A and B are shown apart, each in its own frame.
Chain A
Amino acid sequence: MRNPLRIAGLGMATVLAVACGVSATAQEITGGATTTARPMTRIPNVSQAALTNAAKDKNNWLHSNGSYEQTRFYAGDQINVNNVAALAPAFVFQTAVLESMETAPIVVDGVMFLTTSFNHVYAIDAATGEEYWHYKHKLGPIVTVCCGNNNRGVAIEGGRLFMGTIDAKLVALDAKTGKLVWETQIADPEKGYSETMAPTVIDGKVLIGTNGGEYGVRGFVKAFSAADGKLLWTFYTIPEKGQEGVWAVNDATGRDMHRDIAAEKAALAKDGGGFYQTLGGGVWMTPAIDTKTRTVFFVVGNPSPDLYGAIRPGDNLYTDSMVAIDLDTGAYKWHSQYIAHDVWDLDAVSPPILTQARDASGKMVDVVIHGGKTGHVYVHDRATGKVIRFSEPMVPQENMWVLPTKDGARMLPGANGGVEWSPMAVNPRLRMAYAANLHQPMTYHVEASPYPGGKLWLGGAFKTIPGEEQSGRLVAVNLDTGKVAWSVKTPQPLIGGVLATSTDLVFNGEANGWFKAFHAQDGKELWKYYLGAGVNAPPVTYRVGNTQYVAVAAGGNNQIDSKRGNSVFVFKLIGGEKLVAPEKKVQH
C-alpha cells in the first residue's frame, strides 16, 4: 500500500498536479520549445546543386537515403574492407526519448540533424556529438499511428529543415537555431493521417506522402512551398474514377491471386465506387526524383481495410504499385501494380531507387527498383514502368495467394514482408542491390467490417505462428539477372535499412543490438559492434575533415518490439587509418 506521506515535496506537487488535472498538457511533449546547448557557429546553407549532386558528395549526407536517386551508396573510400575491423565509436549521442528510432540522420558541413519518435529534432556536431539545439514539436491533441510514433528523418534546402509529424503536419525549422519557421496541416489526424517519412525537397518544393492505409484514408503525395508551406499540388494515390483497373487475375510475377472477379464486378455495379475516399493507399517512404526527366517515383501501400476485400471491389489502383508523376505539376505518368486487390497487406513500402540495369536484350537502361514485402526485388523500365524482371524470392514463399479465412490461412511471407519500409542500398559497380528482409510465418484472418470512422481498420488480423522460427535475411540481388548473389541469415527479422560504400562494404543493423559490416561481393562478415538496443534504422556515412564516420541509431523498434534505446552511435577508424593513408594520419 502506498503511503502518501513518503512522497517527497516535488513528487507530491507532481502527484497533485496529475490528480487535479493540471497535467492535461504535461504529456511526453511539453511544448514547442527549442533548447540550445551551444550555438552553432556555421550557418547551414545547402544549394540545389549540392542536393542534385549528393550521390557524389564524400563529405555530406544530404538526403535521408543519400541522394535523389536513393541508392544509399557512398562515394568516399576511407573505410574499406581491409581496415573496417578498426571501426570503433567516436561518440554516442543520447536523445531524451527512449522509443523506437527509425531516423536516417542527414549531415551538412559537419553538423548532423537527427530525429526521434514524437518528432524531436537534434542538431549536433557530427565529429564530437556535442549538442547545438533540440527542437520538440508541439503535438496536437490527436495522433493516429498504426505502427509506432516514429520519425525517419528530415530534409534540408538552403538553411531550412523540413519534417513531417505524427499529427499530420509539415514543419520548417531554421537549421541554425532549430526555431520553427512555419507549419502547415497536411491532413486530418482524426481520420488516420500521420507522417513518419522523411520528406524530400527540390527547387523550393517539399514533397511528402502520408501514412493511414490501416485507417481508411485516401492516400496522396503533396508538394508544399518551401518558402511558406502553401500547398502547390496533390496527387491522390486513389483516383476518383477508375480504381477498378484492368481486373487483373495475376500478380506482377504471374501468380493467380484467386480473385472472384465476377462477384467483385457485381458488387461494384450494385454498391458503386464511393469507397475511393476510404480506400487507403498510404505512401510511407521518401520518393525518388529523376532530376533530368523531372519525374517523381514512389510506391503506394495497401488498400483499406487490409484483409477484407469484399467491400472494395476492383484492382484498387494505385495501391500496391510503383507510381511515376510529374515533379512540377503532380500529373500522372505511369503506374505498375504488384498486387491487385491486395488482401494480405503484402504491399509496397521500401523506397524506390533510381539506377541502371540490363534489359532483356542486354542493353543497360535507366531503371527504378523496389524491394517488395513479397520478397522480390522488382526492376522497372524508368520511362514506362514496365517490369523488366523480378528477383528470385529472397525469403521463403509458400501458399501464395491463398485467401484469408476466419480461422486463418497460413501463407509466406508474413504480412511484414519480405522487405518492410527498410530502404535498400545499391552498389552499381557490383551490379547488386542489398535488401533487409523479414521471415515471419503468419496466418491471415478476415473479418467483415464496415468503415469504422477513423479507427484502426484491418478487417481481420495477422498472427504469427507459435513455435515457428522467425528470422531475417540480408540479401544481395544481381540487378541484371535477378539472381540472389549471396544472403546472410540473422536471428531476428530485419527492419532498418542498408548502407553500401564504394569500397565494397555493406552495413546493416539487427534487432538484437548488433551492427555489422559485410563484404559487398560475397557477404562475408568483416566487423560487428554491439549497441545494446535494437539497431532498426538506416545507417549513414559522411566525412568531417579527413575522417569518415558511420552513424546509426539504436532505439529499437515498435513493430517487431525489439529492445528500445535512445542513442545514435557514430564510428570512425581508431588506429586503423594507416591502412588507408599512412602519410596523412589524422590526429584525434
Chain B
Amino acid sequence: MYDLPMLKFLSTVCATFALVVVQPAWAQADAAGAKLAEQCVGCHGPGGNSQNPAYPVLAGQSWRYIYVQLKDFKEGRRGHPDMSPVAAGLSRDDMIALGNYFAAIKPVPIAFKADSARVEAGRKISDAVLCPMCHLGGFVGQNEIPKVAGQHAQYIRKQLLDFRAKRRTNDAGNMTSVAGTLSDEDIENLTQYIANL
C-alpha cells in the first residue's frame, strides 16, 4: 500500500493496483519522489504533464537531466524566479527522487499543429548542427542530455532563444554555441520540427 499521499488523479488507481502488487523495497523512494513532486503540480501539471506551454513537460524526461538541472538551479548555474528557491531547499537525494519520479511517468502527447515546410526546414537544421549526436535520433535524449520530443513548442523556442542570448548558460558552452548562429527563422523551424516529432 502507498500510505503517502499520491497525486490526486492517480491515487485511486494506484491504490487499487497496489493491492495486487507486492510492494518492493524501492517503492518507498518512489513514494518520496511523489511526495516531493506535489509542489511541482502548480506549474508542471499533474505528474509533470504540464498543460501550460510556458512550463516544460517533465513526465518521461531523463532522470539525469532533471537531477542535473535541479543541481544547477540550486548551485546558481541556472536561474529562474520560481525554480531557484524551490531547488534551494532540495537535498541530493530529493533531486534524485524527483528525477526518478518524473522519468517513470508516461508523458501525455501534446497536440501541435505544425507547418510542414517549417518542419522540413527544421529537420535540415537539426542534421546540419548535429543535434542527434547528443539528443539522439527523434530527440529522445540520453542520460544527462534531455529528451525534447513531446515538449511544448513555446518552451523549446524560449530555450533556444535564451541559449542564443546567453540568458541560459548552464550548457557548458554547447547549446549557446549551437544557438549562437541560428537566425530567428532557424529557431522557429527547428522548434516546429522538434515539437512535431
Contacts and interface: CB of A to CB of B under 8 A. Distances in A.
A19 B170 CA distance: 30
A446 B176 CA distance: 10
A446 B177 contact: yes
A144 B143 contact: yes
Given A22-B21, A406-B180, A459 B143 contact: no
A19 B13 contact: yes
Contacts of A25: 26
Contact of A20 (B10, B103, B132): B10
A149 B140 CA distance: 13
B112 interface: no
Interface stretch (A49-57, A222-230, A314-322, A450-458): A450-458
A558 B133 contact: yes
B145 interface: yes
B176 A447 contact: yes
Contacts of A457: 172-174
Contact of B128 (A24, A143, A147, A465): A465
B181 A448 contact: no
B94 interface: no
A445 B180 contact: yes
A146 B145 CA distance: 9
B191 interface: no
Contacts of B100: 21, 24
Interface in A1-44: 2, 13, 15-25
Contacts of A145: 142-143
B127 interface: yes
Contacts of B130: 461-464
B54 interface: no
B173 A21 contact: no
Contacts of B17: 13, 16-17, 20, 22
A561 interface: yes
Interface in A364-387: none
Contacts of A446: 177
B180 A456 contact: no
A422 B43 CA distance: 47
Given A19-B13, A21-B34, A142-B64, A459 B180 contact: no
Interface string B128-170: 1110111011000011110000000000000000000000001
Nearest to B145: A456
B30 interface: yes
Contacts of A308: 173
A452 B176 CA distance: 14
Count class of interface residues, chain B: 35 or more
Nearest to B11: A20
A456 B174 contact: yes
Main SS at interface, chain A: loop
Nearest to B124: A466
Q: How many residues of A sit at the interface, in one of the four size bands? A: 35 or more
Nearest to A14: B106
B104 interface: yes
B14 interface: yes
B87 to A, nearest CB: 15
B101 to A, nearest CB: 6
Nearest to B47: A19
Among A20, A455, A564, chain B packs the most CB atoms within 10 A around the CB of: A20
Q: Which of A24, A146, A408, A457 has the most CB of B within 10 A?
A: A24
Given A448-B173, A449-B173, A455 B144 contact: yes
A559 interface: yes
A22 B13 CA distance: 13
Contacts of A281: none
Given A19-B14, A24-B30, A149-B142, A456 B106 contact: no
Given A20-B17, A455-B144, A558 B132 contact: yes
A205 to B, nearest CB: 30
Contacts of B127: 464, 561
Contact of A459 (B63, B172, B181): B172
A351 interface: no
Given A16-B13, A455-B144, A458-B174, A464 B132 contact: no
Contact of B106 (A19, A141, A460): A19
B105 interface: yes
B114 interface: no
Interface in B27-55: 27, 29-31, 33-34, 47
B197 to A, nearest CB: 14
Interface string A538-561: 000000000000000000001101
Interface string B6-21: 1000100110011001
18 contacts: A19-B105, A20-B2, A21-B101, A24-B100, A143-B142, A144-B144, A146-B134, A305-B173, A448-B173, A452-B77, A452-B172, A456-B144, A461-B177, A462-B130, A463-B128, A465-B128, A558-B132, A561-B133
Nearest 6 pairs of A and B residues by beta carbon: A449-B173, A447-B173, A21-B30, A452-B172, A461-B177, A447-B177
Interface of A: 2, 13, 15-25, 141-149, 305, 307-308, 406-408, 445-449, 452, 454-466, 558-559, 561, 564
Given A20-B6, A144-B144, A458-B177, 19 more contacts: A16-B14, A19-B10, A19-B105, A20-B10, A22-B17, A141-B63, A142-B64, A143-B143, A308-B173, A406-B177, A408-B181, A455-B144, A456-B134, A457-B174, A460-B174, A463-B178, A465-B128, A466-B124, A466-B128
